[in-house]
Every structure is written in structure tokens, then in C-alpha cells.
């Protein structure tokens, strides 16, 4: 990063949602991580090791992300059907809890 930040008042890391491509503060997203030892998981703490991707806290983005291959592409991994279902279920709980 050598460029001068265009908005110096904000220094929270910015991330892009893999579903809707919106750029927001990192903490406004839910992080997914492709852990080396297991399947793709939701990383609520935001600091698990592995390749990560971000989705908004909206079910639309989770459905879009999990339906296509965008997340697989972003995470460089494969989802099993079970994995997908589990993630969707967890996301529903998380999103419900957040609102
Ligand atoms: Zn989104």
C-alpha cells in the first residue's frame, strides 16, 4: 500500500462482500475462513488462520454467496452440500442475533 488514503479519518480496514461487492468496514461483515485442517467455517472472532472471505450480515448476500461459486472462488476451496447448509444455518442464527 503506497497510495495516500483518500479518506484519512477512517482507518478501519475495508473489505468487500463477495456477493454484492459492497465495500464496508471489516467489522460490519461476517468472515468466512477456509481452514487448512477442516471445512469452511464462519469466523466470528475474525482472526482464524486460513484464506478468508467476507459477506454482509444479510441473508441475501449469504444466499447469493453460497449458491454460486463466488465463495468457493474467493476461498479457493470447495463446499460440500453439508458444509453449505451448515454455513447457511449458522448465518441465519448470527444475522437474527445481530438484528
Ligand atoms: Zn453483501
Quickly list H helices, the chain: 59-67, 70-75, 81-98
Q: Which residue has the cell 476461498?
A: 75
64 within 8 A of 70, measured Cβ to Cβ? yes
Q: Is the confidence at residue 4, as pLDDT, over 80?
A: no
Which pLDDT belongs to residue 75? 94
Which pLDDT belongs to residue 87? 95
Distance 89 CA to ligand 1 centre (A): 17
Considering the segment(s) 14-98 as one domain, its CATH architecture is: 2-Layer Sandwich (3.30)
Mean pLDDT confidence for 32-36: 91
Distance 35 CA to ligand 1 centre (A): 22
Q: Could you tell me the three cell numbers for 32?
A: 468466512
Which pLDDT belongs to residue 7? 60
19 within 8 A of 62, measured Cβ to Cβ? yes
Domain assignments of the chain as residue spans, ordered by start = 14-98
Split at pLDDT 50, 70, 90, the class of 53 is very high
Distance 20 CA to ligand 1 centre (A): 4
Distance 22 CA to ligand 1 centre (A): 6
Q: Could you tell me the three cell numbers for 87?
A: 454455513
Distance 46 CA to ligand 1 centre (A): 17
Amino acid at each position: 500500500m503506497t497510495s495516500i488514503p483518500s479518506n484519512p479519518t477512517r482507518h478501519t480496514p475495508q473489505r468487500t462482500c463477495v456477493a454484492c461487492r459492497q465495500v464496508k468496514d471489516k467489522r460490519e461483515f461476517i468472515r468466512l475462513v477456509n481452514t487448512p485442517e477442516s471445512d469452511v467455517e464462519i469466523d466470528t472472532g475474525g482472526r482464524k488462520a486460513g484464506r478468508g472471505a467476507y459477506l454482509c450480515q444479510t441473508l441475501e448476500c449469504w444466499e447469493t454467496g453460497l449458491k454460486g461459486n463466488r465463495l468457493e472462488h474467493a476461498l479457493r476451496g470447495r463446499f460440500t452440500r453439508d458444509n453449505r447448509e451448515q454455513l447457511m444455518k449458522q448465518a441465519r442464527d448470527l444475522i437474527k442475533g445481530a438484528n
